[in-house]
Structure 1
Amino acid sequence: MIRKLSAALFAFGLLGAAPAPDWRPLNPESLLVIDTTRGRIIVEMAPDMAPQSVARVKLLAREGVYDGLKFHRVIEGFVNQTGNPDNKDGGVSRHPDLPLEATFKLKIAGYRAVAAPSDGTVGFLGSVPIATVSGQEALRSTDGAIRAWGAYCQGVAGMGRQEARDTGNSEIFFMRGASRRLDRDYTVWGRIVVGRDINSLLSVGEPPAAPDRMLKVRVAADMPAADRPRLSILRDDSPAFRALVRRTRIAKGADFSICDLEVPVRVDP
């Protein structure tokens, strides 16, 4: 059964890898540069997963709404929360609330699963860890796409909301640790690719006694060319990435999780 399923996933482009350059440049239009009181954090945004949420984050960054805001709720091993104009839970921007984008349609072509157990697959969309429906459900797809969602691993960026599900607005949070109970309940809009260590240093508290702040938040494409970060990500169809997956699976054994993997990112000259 496992061999048959793997063969089926290979046919759908979920496994296997064609020769390709090891590294892919990251699009500056999809990079959010956050200069904090602790240092710089750079997030690769995922518009294919959450187009409205990504558009909102970019809009608020360009309006300067995020500049100077506190990390008002920071829980060790869980989340770093910010983005509310009143620096506490419940604040919103002048823009209307957004619908929940907790799941999305993933194009089967080009997707390579890292693991494909019987109940679903796990892999990456860019730097963002994702999970999908099972390979059997993929075989029943009639539109070349399958249902997928972001996995709340360390460094993943989520959209905050109120109790009602369709109330995302300006609040954002960054995972300080993995918490997969948030999957399919909160919108994933990206993942930290630079500054994961900075994210772990932010002052803890609800609210912190001396909160850290986002000093300046910009879309990389808006920055002067000389100041713009140039980053590349390891391709998930490269031999180097496949070797990384093999080493991690051997090390973790039956405890292997998609949260055990991070797609390497390098700074280009």
Structure 2
Amino acid sequence: MSDTAPKADLIDLELKTGRVVIQLRPDLAPLAAERIRTLAAEGFYDNTPFHRVIHGFMAQGGDPTGTGTSGSHLPDLKAEFTRAAKFERGTIGMARTMNPDSANSQFFIMFEPSPHLDGQYTIVGQVVEGMEHIDQIKRGAGQSGTVQDPDRIISMRPAAA
């Protein structure tokens, strides 16, 4: 998949265990893809935690406060739901509140397929390299998946040209 992706659609995510390459999907979610690209270029995601991580489900990050209640300085996005793609292992979705138009900076990466999310959340990308590093992110406790002393994103930037 990444062999044919334009460089502008690739994001390098550096974790303590290694490099992850994300292919953004502007064909599915142009607003969300541009948001991730913009914030990554600003260094917004650097040192942000994976604050909610649920075994067998997903790892959520992108909140600079680590509380799951905050976002970026940019306005919330309109939902870009689709049934053209599915929430499979490695899929990246935009986190939101109960309001479908509340995605901002937070995203989640799927550990396993979750068909109940299909058509309910914006799919913004896919891990195309380094999923083994996502698998090593520290898990949270209980149903909420809140992580004590969470793993953090070292850096997240658009891929170098």
With normalisation by structure 1, the TM-score equals 0.56
Please say if residues 35 and 216 of structure 1, whose CA atoms lie closer than 8 Å, have aligned partners that are also in contact: yes
In the alignment, residue 47 of structure 2 is paired with which amino acid? Answer: G
Could you tell me how far apart the structure 2 residues matched to 1:94 and 1:25 are? Answer: 32
Superimposed CA distance per residue, residues 107-141 of structure 1 (whole angstroms, 9 cap, x where no aligned partner): xxxxxxxxxxxxxxxxxxxxxxxxxxxxxxxxxxx
Question: Residue 79 of structure 2 corresponds to which residue in structure 1?
Answer: 100
Which blocks of at least 5 consecutive residues in structure 1 are unaligned? 1-22, 104-147, 226-269
Show the 5 A alignment for 1:99-138.
99-103=78-82
Counterpart check, 1:65 vs 2:44: yes
Could you tell me how far apart the structure 2 residues matched to 1:24 and 1:58 are? Answer: 19
Counterpart check, 1:212 vs 2:151: yes
SS of the residue 2:154 aligns to? strand
Could you tell me how far apart the structure 1 residues matched to 2:121 and 2:5 are? Answer: 25
Question: Residue 186 of structure 1 corresponds to which residue in structure 2?
Answer: 121
Question: Residue 60 of structure 2 corresponds to which residue in structure 1?
Answer: 81
Superimposed CA distance per residue, residues 152-201 of structure 1 (whole angstroms, 9 cap, x where no aligned partner): 01100000011111001000110011111000000001110001111111
Please say if residues 161 and 167 of structure 1, whose CA atoms lie closer than 8 Å, have aligned partners that are also in contact: yes
RMSD over aligned CA atoms reads: 1.4
Q: Choose the corresponding residue for 2:106, options 148, 165, 171.
A: 171
Question: Residue 122 of structure 1 corresponds to which residue in structure 2?
Answer: none
Could you tell me how far apart the structure 1 residues matched to 2:47 and 2:116 are? Answer: 30
Count residues in correspondence: 156
Q: CA deviation at 1:207?
A: 2.5
Q: Choose the corresponding residue for 1:34, options 3, 9, 13.
A: 13
% same residue: 35
Superimposed CA distance per residue, residues 38-95 of structure 1 (whole angstroms, 9 cap, x where no aligned partner): 2111111110100000000011111111000000000000010000121121111111
Closer, same or farther in 2 for the Cα pair 1:208/1:32, shift >3 Å? same
